[in-house]
């Protein structure tokens, strides 16, 4: 029988969350800290990392920070070493960091923008997973959760290369789930429109009108996504791997 009081707890575990100083990543880091995990945060801006670390310490549990890009192999190595050497392990990896430096038709996307999107959204997630596996999870087990997008499931205007990168991330999720089982579970979430700074171009011009088009009549929040990621990272989902949870307020129904 599942104990509701402990099913979503992460006591004694160490999690690495990329892009965790804002939006969805920040909400995930805070939910992990509240569930008892030590949290290591990888993000680009030192001032935002310092502020995030202060907040996480007030919630509880050890905190570590690494400044740099989630697409940089040297930063990736430093982040994994920080978790394993200084925080005692790497039980949970959340590949949340993403970039989208272009907006418009995919057919017009500059090659440099394509390379940047794939470097962070696909290559970075794979390299982090590889390093986490070799440094810790192969011997100790673990969980990987990839934050993709509804755009990886179906196309949408103006962010085509971003959508393509998220489709690749969803397939990577299934591939790694097959390869790393049973030691490591690998799952993904595919958020629809979430009210974050990163997605502001998609909602700020008509927030109320866009909310009405959702069957649940609201745009998503970062906490909506964090709750699902906490489930996938916890023992409550111990028989789930290779899955993608679509979190979109019902928009894929219409």
Catalytically annotated residues: 162
Return the number of other C-beta atoms located less than 10 Å from residue 200's C-beta: 11
- In angstroms, the CA 104 to CA 249 distance is 25
Sign of torsion over alpha carbons 156, 116, 41, 231: positive
Identify whether the C-beta of residue 100 lies closer than 8 Å to the C-beta of residue 162. Answer: yes
For residue 226, what are its two tokens?
């964090």
Residues β-bridged to residue 93: 16, 144
Beta strands across the sheet bearing 184-191 = 63-67, 38-43, 14-18, 92-95, 142-147, 184-191, 244-247
- In angstroms, the CA 35 to CA 12 distance is 10
Q: How far is CA 115 from CA 39, 112, 156, in A?
A: 30, 5, 20
Residue located via tokens 């894929």: 252
């Amino acid at each position: 029988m599942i104990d509701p009081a402990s099913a979503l707890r992460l006591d004694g575990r160490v999690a690495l969350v990329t892009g965790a100083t804002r939006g969805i990543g920040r909400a995930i880091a805070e939910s992990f800290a509240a569930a008892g995990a030590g949290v290591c945060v990888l993000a680009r801006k030192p001032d935002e990392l310092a502020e995030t670390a202060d907040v996480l310490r007030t919630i509880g549990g050890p905190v570590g920070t690494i400044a740099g890009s989630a697409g940089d192999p040297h930063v990736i190595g430093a982040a994994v070493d920080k978790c394993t050497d200084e925080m005692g392990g790497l039980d949970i990896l959340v590949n949340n960091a993403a970039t989208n430096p272009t907006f418009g038709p995919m057919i017009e996307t500059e090659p440099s923008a394509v390379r940047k999107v794939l470097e962070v959204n696909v290559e970075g997630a794979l390299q982090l997973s590889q390093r986490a596996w070799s440094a810790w999870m192969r011997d100790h087990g673990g969980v990987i959760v990839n934050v993709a997008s509804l755009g990886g499931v179906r196309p949408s205007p103006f962010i085509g290369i971003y959508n393509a990168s998220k489709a690749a991330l969803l397939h990577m999720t299934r591939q790694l789930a097959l390869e790393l089982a049973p030691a490591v579970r690998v799952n993904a979430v595919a958020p629809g429109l979430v009210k974050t700074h990163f997605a502001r171009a998609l909602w700020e011009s008509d927030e109320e009108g866009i909310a009405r088009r959702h069957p649940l009549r609201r745009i998503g929040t970062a906490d909506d996504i964090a709750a699902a990621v906490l489930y996938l990272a916890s023992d409550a989902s111990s028989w789930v791997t290779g899955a993608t949870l679509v979190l979109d307020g019902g928009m894929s129904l219409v």
